[in-house]
Structure formats: structure tokens, C-alpha cells
Chain A
Amino acid sequence: MGEKVKSLISPDWRDAIPGLIVCIIFAWLVMNIDHTLKGLAKDGVAWADFLYNSAQFKYVALLLLGGILIRNTIGVPKSWIRGIMTARPIIKPGIIILGVHYVWSDVVKVGGVGLLLTTIFIFGTAAAVMILSRKWGAPDGLGGIMAAGTGICGVSAIIATAPVVRAKPRDLAYAIGTILLFGTLMLFIFPYIGKALGLAESQFGAWVAIAILNTAQLIACAEWYGTGARDTAVLINAARIMFIPVIVLFALWYYVIRDQAANVYGRAKEQVAAAAENVSGNVDKWQLFKDKFPVFIIGFFLLVALNSANISLFGGPKVEGSVFWAMNSVYKWFFAVGFAGIGLMISIEDLKKAGGKAFVIGFGAALTKAVLGLIAVYLVGAELLTVVGG
């Protein structure tokens, strides 16, 4: 027990303090600039109205663009990097707390549609990348990590899948570089595409949840577009990230179990199936599933359940003076600190690492998914994707 608690505290936790403080101060400054701009725009000040409403210079954009600008011009001291890296996952408690926004009918309606869309797009993209990679002669390791990376959740999925499919470290670096580059570009381009196409907030939220591969980036992008977009994106993303362990198991079956079986017995169909069954028996799939499951999402669904139960002790996000009403005022600050971390972590040097076959496969697959995802949310319509909340 003591060891487990100890493992929660990194031995170098003190190194994280300077960078974390910088992110908190940066977030606080930008939130206040956002607040001031919003007030001025409301009062009819033309330049503020242009910046806030037309150019969409809201806190998300200011934190991301400001962070990138600082990181790549004046730079950040090495002593801050550890803390900046710690700031990014602070989005996670924000996502859990946001659970008080939803009721089960949202989860069933939006989550159901989202689950269907993500299932089609995750397995469609993953399977297409795996098959096409083999067809084009890309190494299996690269095909496997790009399938996971473009199918689900970017970097996390790539790292989760890499040892399973025995990817080469060089391919891993290319793959991560490509996914980061794609995510960063889309993060800034999507809101403008959405506005130009007149996408409803709920449709935009669903689109980014399908097309952008990284949780923090997609939530930043959706929040930038509007609260309706964020509500839809968070819910669909919750469904999506639960697929990480499933896709790792899929990659294990596609690249390892199936192949080992084929190697042992030749290509006779029924023998391969029997051998695959035998090899798969040696892998503790339940343990693998548990290891890769994003447990924080349990907290999110627990709060959705409590909010849906209408317990008077907790109230609701709109019930003044209640627990959930107070919690509803907190999450944005967690997001702001996390977005500060994302902005300050984006280094042009890292993005330049994108390359090789990973770039062609990754960009091709991710762009195709983005276009097909856009068509899908158009066909589904705004109504089915709108979070009503409670």
C-alpha cells in the first residue's frame, strides 16, 4: 500500500514547481485578458469585438498561440520544461469535473451516435492503415503504430501499440512527430473551416472528436469554437479513448497472434485459426486491457451518474448554491492551465521530426478521416449531436 502511494509521487516532483507556476500565471493572465476583451466587445468597442468575435481570439487561442510564440522565440529555460509537461494533464481533472454538465440521456443520445461514429472511424482507419501499409511494403511495426495513432488517440495509442507490434524506435519518432504536426495544424485550421462552412457547435464538436487525435488538442479546439462544441467533443472523446485497449488488442491479434500462427502452421485457414487461438491463450488479454484503460474517465461517468440521479444534496450545474453549481465554475481554470502547458510545449523543432513513410501514411489517413468525418457529421445533423445537459 505504502509503495503504491509512493509511486504516485515522482521523486523529482520539486523540479516541476517552477514550470507549473509559470503555466498557472500564464493561464491567469490570459483568462483575465479574455475576460476584459469579452467585456469590451459586449460594450460595443469595435476592435475588441473584432478580436474576440470575428478573429476568435479567446483564451484558448491566446494560450496556444502565445505559448507557441514564447517557446519558439524567446524560448523557455530547461528548468521549466518538467513543470510545463506536468501542466498539460491538468486538463484531466477538468474533464472529470465537466461530468456535472451531462445527464444520461446525453450520454445515450450523443454518446450513442458518437460511439457509432467513433467505432466506424477508429476501426475503419486502423484497418485501412494496416492493410494499405502492408500493401505498400511499409514495415509492420510502422503500419501498426500509425494505425493506432491515426485511428484513436495519437501519441498515447502509438506508444501503447509500439512494443506489441515491435516498431523500430526511428519509426516511433517519425510517427509521433507526424501525429503532433497534424494535431497542431488541425487545431488552428479546424475552427476557421468550421466557421466558413457554418457548422453548428455540436457538429463541430463531433467532427473534432473524430478527426483530431489528441484529447488535449481536440478539447482545446472545441472549446475555442464554443461551449456547445466542447460539450459534444468531451462526451464523444470519452467514448473514443475507451477504445485504446481494444485497438491494442486488435493490433496484437493482427500483427502478432495471426502471424505467429501462420508461421507455425503455414497458411491453411483452419490451422491458422486454431493456432491463433493457441497463441492468444498465452497473452493475458484482460491484464493488457486493464493496463491500457484510461481510468480517469470513470470519474467523469460517476459525476454524470450523480448528476442524472437528481440528488438534492448535490444540486445541479444551474442550481445556485449547490455542489455541482460550484464545481461548474472550476473546470475552465483546469483547462486554462492545461492549454498553457500545451502551447508552451509545442516546439517547431519537434514538429520537424515528422517524416519518412510515417508522414505519408499518417497525413493521408488522418486527412481522409477528417474529410469523411465532416461528411458524416453533416449527414447526422446537429440535433442528434447536441448535449442538453441538466
Chain B
Amino acid sequence: MGEEKRNPDINLDAKAEETFSAERVEDIWALIIAFIVFLVCMIMPEQVHEFFKHTLYW
């Protein structure tokens, strides 16, 4: 493949960089949220279960 066949579009790199840093941020937030859930479940497991299994349903 010759260089002329490629489109050296720098915006594409920026777009990929931006998307992937956004995905990395999503991943880190997912870890933080899961850790918070873990902590809350350690402190009050019965209440968490009651809330998500019963209270939230009408």
C-alpha cells in the first residue's frame, strides 16, 4: 500500500483520542460507582436489598 492511498486526516486521530479518553473516563466512573455500591452494601446490605427489590416497585 502506497502512502498516497492513505488519507492523512489529523482530525481522525483527534477524534479517536477524544473518544478513547471518553471511554477511559466511562470505565473509571464505572469502577468508582461499583466501589461505592460495594461500600454501601457492606454498611447496610438489608436496606439496599429491600430498596432495590421492593421499595422501587409500586
Contact = CB atoms under 8 A, between A and B. Distances in A.
**Main secondary structure on B side of the interface with A:** helix
A167 B13 CA distance: 10
How many chain A residues sit at the interface, stated as a range, is 35 or more
Interface stretch (A61-69, A90-98, A199-207, A222-230): A90-98
B6 A93 contact: no
B34 A35 contact: no
B56 A28 contact: yes
Interface in B10-56: 11-13, 15-17, 19-21, 23-31, 33-35, 37-38, 41-42, 44-46, 48-49, 52-53, 56
A356 interface: no
Given A162-B12, A163-B12, A329-B49, A92 B41 contact: no
A326 interface: yes
Given A140-B6, A141-B7, A326-B49, A163 B31 contact: no
A296 B48 CA distance: 23
A345 interface: no
Interface of B: 1-3, 5-9, 11-13, 15-17, 19-21, 23-31, 33-35, 37-38, 41-42, 44-46, 48-49, 52-53, 56-58
19 contacts: A92-B29, A92-B30, A96-B34, A97-B37, A140-B1, A156-B23, A159-B16, A162-B12, A167-B12, A168-B7, A263-B3, A296-B28, A299-B34, A321-B45, A325-B49, A329-B53, A330-B41, A330-B48, A330-B52
- 3 interchain residue pairs of minimum CB distance: A92-B30, A326-B45, A166-B6
Interface of A: 7-8, 10, 28, 31-32, 35, 89, 92-93, 95-97, 139-141, 156, 159-160, 162-163, 166-169, 172, 255, 259, 263, 291-292, 294-296, 298-299, 303, 321-327, 329-330, 332-333
